[in-house]
Every structure is written in structure tokens, then in C-alpha cells.
């Protein structure tokens, strides 16, 4: 097998052992016989779906979850056996492909099932469906017990479709205030109680609920997302985690140019940074086309184990840093991760960007290769 060769020194390093350990720790924490649904949507939150899925399955996950039909087909091309669940809406035209590829779809509308039925008439395998309950998230899903019974009856009376699961998604499981969370739990429990029979898989707990909520909410399976990658869903959850998380993502590059500039010289577009004194400037081959967006100006990176700031406006393909001295070309630069005794975390980037840690690895674009170790 030919190994891909990368000439640009910018790369994301993905620690598969960390992902394996995060899944293993959850498996040991859960109630017996509760399955782990490894959420590998959005290219496994930017980590690489195939490699992450393999690590998760080896650690004990039994089901893979994605967001779109295309993601599901990509995963199925690499994994023949495990169940794959599409958490989002799928077009009616995808129904026969899902049946052929044993991909489970999310159902939340009677019309969708009725329109998909003729497309399934010649399929050997039934299309498996999980009914989505909108218990308070406000995205997709049925919103009443009456709707639930209608869609249940439609599935039961339609050939070539099979009810395989029922699930919901919590909007505030990572909050200390449980008011809305408790309301969602109650509605979902009411829905379960009116079902004529319990399907094979009932699942409600996302990462936060899996880690810190009542074990009875684990049902038959839990969906493991952000913490599979070593990140906590919120500061509150981080403060009460049942086991330590191991971050899997780091981002690094190298100095490709080092120069000394004079006091008063400017750096970057718009000449927004003016040297306060004679100083050394290093150039790194990474920019906003790689996901290091311009709002990260001023963010520190690690060189020689020291924190140094990005100066000037970040360019499409490059950015500049203020160095304490002249370094050799090729000196390692860590943008996310550990170097020496210092650490720059995804959470630090998220704070700088005024967003959540979920978003950070997702915005590192595809032209940054993921290197697995």
C-alpha cells in the first residue's frame, strides 16, 4: 500500500490511542449491555472518519452515527459489518440505497415513509428506521404522542420498512440547571410509555448525559460524540467528569522563514502590526484557508516550548509570529497541542474565537493532512 507523501510541513496529528482509551473508559463506566454509538459525522469532528471509526470499534463501540447519506456511504465502503445510523434527515430518493447498504435512517414524518415505500418494493432487505422524538431541541422529530402513534402505525402497515429504534436529543444536558433537561426526559418517557412495543434500540443520551446524568437514561445505547475526541461538552461537565479525557487532536507546522525587522517596520496586510523595537519575525505556512481564521490574530503558538504571539493579519496560506530570537528554518511550531512544559488547548482556541470546542477541529480544512499515530 502506497503511503501518501506530504511536502508541506503543516499537519494535524491525531492520537488514535487517545480515542481508543476514551471509548474504553466510557464502556467501563456504562451499565452492562449498553451499546456505544460512536458519532463520526463531519469527518469525525475533523479528525478523520475512517481512522476514528476503526479505533472506536476496536475499543468497544458497536454502531457508527453520521449526519448525511454521503457520510454513511463513505463509512459503509470501509466497514461492512457495523450498523450505521444517519442522525439527520435523508431525501426520499436515498431510501433504496439505505436498504441495500443496511444503513439505518431517521424517521419523523408519515409522508416521507409513504413516499419512500414504492421505491423499496424491489428491495431484498427492509429499510430500518429510528423514530426521532423532538422532546425540546426544536430541530427534527415528532412533537406529540399522537404523532408518534401515527408514524408507528404507518411503519407497521408499510411493506419493506422496519421499526428498529426510538431516540431523542437533549438540548441542555451539559448545563447545571436541569429544568429543561427534566422536561425533555419526561416527554421522552411519556412517548416510550405509549409505544405498543419497545423497539430494539432506545437511545437518548448524548455525551454529556452519558457521563453525568442518571444511568437509567442510558437505555439501550448512548451516543458518544465530543468526548470520544478528548474534549468536554462544557466547563460544568468537565468539572464532574467520571474519568479523565485524552485529547486526540494537535496541529503543528514549521518555521519556513526567519528575518529581523527594524523598529517601526510593519508586518502583514493593512500594516496593522508595527514593530515596537528591532525584532525577529518567523513565517509559518498555515493560514485562514487551513482554518486558522483571521480572528486568531494575537493567539499564541509554541516554539522551542515557549508561547509566542501571531502578529499582523493572518493570510490565506501563511501567518507570522514574533520570535524571541533567531531560530533555524524547520523549527517546529505547535499551534494546538503540547510542546515542552507548555500546552495550547482546543478550549483556548475556542475562547479566543468566542465559540465552542466542537467547532475548532471542524474548521481545520481538508488541505491540512491528518497524520495518525
Say what the pTM is: 0.95
Q: Are 197 and 232 in contact (CB under 8 A)?
A: no
Q: What is the mean pLDDT of residues 357-367?
A: 97
Confidence check: pLDDT of 136 > 50? yes
Residue intervals of the chain classified under CATH 3.20.20.10 are 16-229
Number of Cβ within a 10 Å radius of residue 36: 23
Ramachandran sector of residue 136 (left: φ over 0; alpha: ψ -120 to 50; beta: rest): left
Tell me, yes or no, if 269 is annotated catalytic. Answer: yes
Which alpha helices (DSSP H) does the chain contain, by range? 16-29, 41-45, 49-59, 69-78, 95-100, 110-116, 145-156, 179-194, 207-212, 235-239, 346-353, 359-363
Write the pLDDT tens digit of every residue in 315-341.
999 999 999 999 999 999 999 999 999
Write the pLDDT tens digit of every residue in 61-103.
999 999 999 999 999 999 999 999 999 999 999 999 999 999 9
Alpha carbons 79 and 21: distance in angstroms, whole number: 21
User: Which residue from 78, 101, 85, 103 is spatially nearest to 37, judged by alpha carbons?
Assistant: 85
Alpha carbons 211 and 243: distance in angstroms, whole number: 9
Cell of 176: 447545571
Please state, in angstroms and as integers, the Cα–Cα distance from residue 113 to each residue in 67, 84, 104, 110, 127, following that order.
19, 19, 13, 5, 10
Burial of 93 (0-12, 13-18, 19+ CB in 10 A): exposed
Confidence check: pLDDT of 3 > 70? no
| Architecture label for domain 16-229 | Alpha-Beta Barrel (3.20)
- Average pLDDT value for the chain: 97
The residues near 153 (Cβ < 8 Å, ≥ 6 apart) are none
Q: What is the mean pLDDT of residues 193-213?
A: 96
pLDDT in the model for residue 21: 98
Q: What is the mean pLDDT of residues 1-20?
A: 89
Sign of CA dihedral 92, 97, 100, 104: negative
The percent of residues above 70 in pLDDT, for the chain, comes to 99
pLDDT in the model for residue 4: 78
Q: Are 309 and 299 in contact (CB under 8 A)?
A: yes
- 142 forms bridges with which residues in the sheet? 133
pLDDT in the model for residue 123: 95
Number of Cβ within a 10 Å radius of residue 214: 9
Residues 107, 186, 242, 352, Cα dihedral to 10°: 70
pLDDT band of 178, cuts 50, 70, 90: very high
pLDDT band of 179, cuts 50, 70, 90: very high
Residue intervals of the chain classified under CATH 2.40.37.10 are 249-372
SS3 for 7-18 is CCCCEEEECHHH
The residues near 179 (Cβ < 8 Å, ≥ 6 apart) are none
Write the pLDDT tens digit of every residue in 138-149.
999 999 999 999
Write the pLDDT tens digit of every residue in 32-64.
999 999 999 999 999 999 999 999 999 999 999
pLDDT in the model for residue 2: 54
Residues 214, 203, 41, 297, Cα dihedral to 10°: -20
pLDDT in the model for residue 373: 93
SS3 for 226-275 is HHHHCCCCCHHHHHCCCCCCCCCEEEEEECCEEEEECCCCEECHHHCEEC
Domain 249-372 CATH (choose: 3.40.50.2000, 2.40.37.10, 2.40.30.10, 3.10.20.30): 2.40.37.10
pLDDT in the model for residue 1: 42
Residue of 41, 45, 152, 219 marked active site: 41
Tell me, yes or no, if 372 is annotated catalytic. Answer: no
pLDDT band of 311, cuts 50, 70, 90: very high
Residue of 6, 269, 295, 325 marked active site: 269
Write the pLDDT tens digit of every residue in 234-290.
999 999 999 999 999 999 999 999 999 999 999 999 999 999 999 999 999 999 999
Amino acid at each position: 500500500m502506497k503511503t501518501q507523501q506530504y511536502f508541506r510541513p503543516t499537519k494535524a496529528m491525531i492520537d488514535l490511542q487517545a480515542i481508543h482509551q476514551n471509548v474504553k473508559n466510557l464502556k467501563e463506566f456504562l451499565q452492562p449491555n449498553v451499546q456505544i454509538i460512536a458519532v463520526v459525522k463531519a469527518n469525525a469532528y475533523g479528525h478523520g472518519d475512517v481512522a476514528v471509526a476503526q479505533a472506536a470499534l476496536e475499543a468497544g463501540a458497536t454502531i457508527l452515527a453520521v449526519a448525511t447519506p454521503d457520510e454513511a456511504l463513505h463509512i459503509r465502503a470501509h466497514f461492512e459489518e457495523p450498523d450505521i445510523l444517519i442522525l439527520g434527515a435523508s431525501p426520499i430518493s436515498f431510501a433504496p440505497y439505505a436498504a441495500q447498504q443496511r444503513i439505518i435512517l431517521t424517521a419523523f414524518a408519515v409522508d416521507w415513509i409513504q413516499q419512500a415505500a414504492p421505491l423499496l418494493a424491489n428491495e431484498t432487505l427492509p429499510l430500518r428506521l429510528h423514530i426521532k422524538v423532538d422532546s425540546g431541541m426544536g430541530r427534527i422529530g415528532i412533537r406529540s404522542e399522537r404523532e408518534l402513534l401515527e408514524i408507528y402505525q404507518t411503519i407497521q402497515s408499510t411493506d419493506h420498512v422496519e421499526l428498529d429504534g426510538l431516540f431523542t436529543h437533549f438540548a441542555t444536558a451539559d448545563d447545571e440547571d436541569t429544568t429543561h433537561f427534566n422536561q425533555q426526559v419526561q416527554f421522552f418517557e411519556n412517548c416510550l410509555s405509549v409505544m405498543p412495543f419497545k423497539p430494539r434500540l432506545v437511545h437518548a443520551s448524548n455525551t454529556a448525559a452519558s457521563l453525568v446524568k442518571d444511568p437509567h437514561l442510558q437505555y439501550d445505547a448512548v451516543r458518544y460524540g465530543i468526548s470520544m475526541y478528548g474534549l468536554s461538552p462544557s466547563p460544568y461537565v468537565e468539572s464532574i467528569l467520571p474519568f479523565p479525557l485524552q485529547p486526540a487532536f494537535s496541529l503543528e507546522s514549521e518555521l519556513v522563514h526567519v528575518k529581523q525587522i527594524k523598529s517601526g517596520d510593519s508586518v502583514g496586510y493593512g500594516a496593522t502590526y508595527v514593530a515596537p523595537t528591532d525584532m525577529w519575525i518567523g513565517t509559518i505556512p498555515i493560514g485562514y484557508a487551513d482554518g486558522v481564521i483571521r480572528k486568531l490574530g494575537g493567539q499564541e503558538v509554541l516554539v522551542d516550548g515557549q508561547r509566542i504571539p501571531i502578529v499582523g493579519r493572518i493570510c490565506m496560506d501563511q501567518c507570522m509570529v514574533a520570535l524571541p530570537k533567531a531560530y533555524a528554518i524547520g523549527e517546529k511550531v505547535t499551534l494546538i497541542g503540547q510542546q515542552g512544559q507548555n500546552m495550547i488547548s482546543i478550549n483556548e482556541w475556542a475562547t479566543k474565537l468566542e465559540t465552542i470546542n466542537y467547532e475548532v477541529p471542524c474548521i481545520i480544512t481538508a488541505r491540512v493532512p491528518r497524520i495518525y499515530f
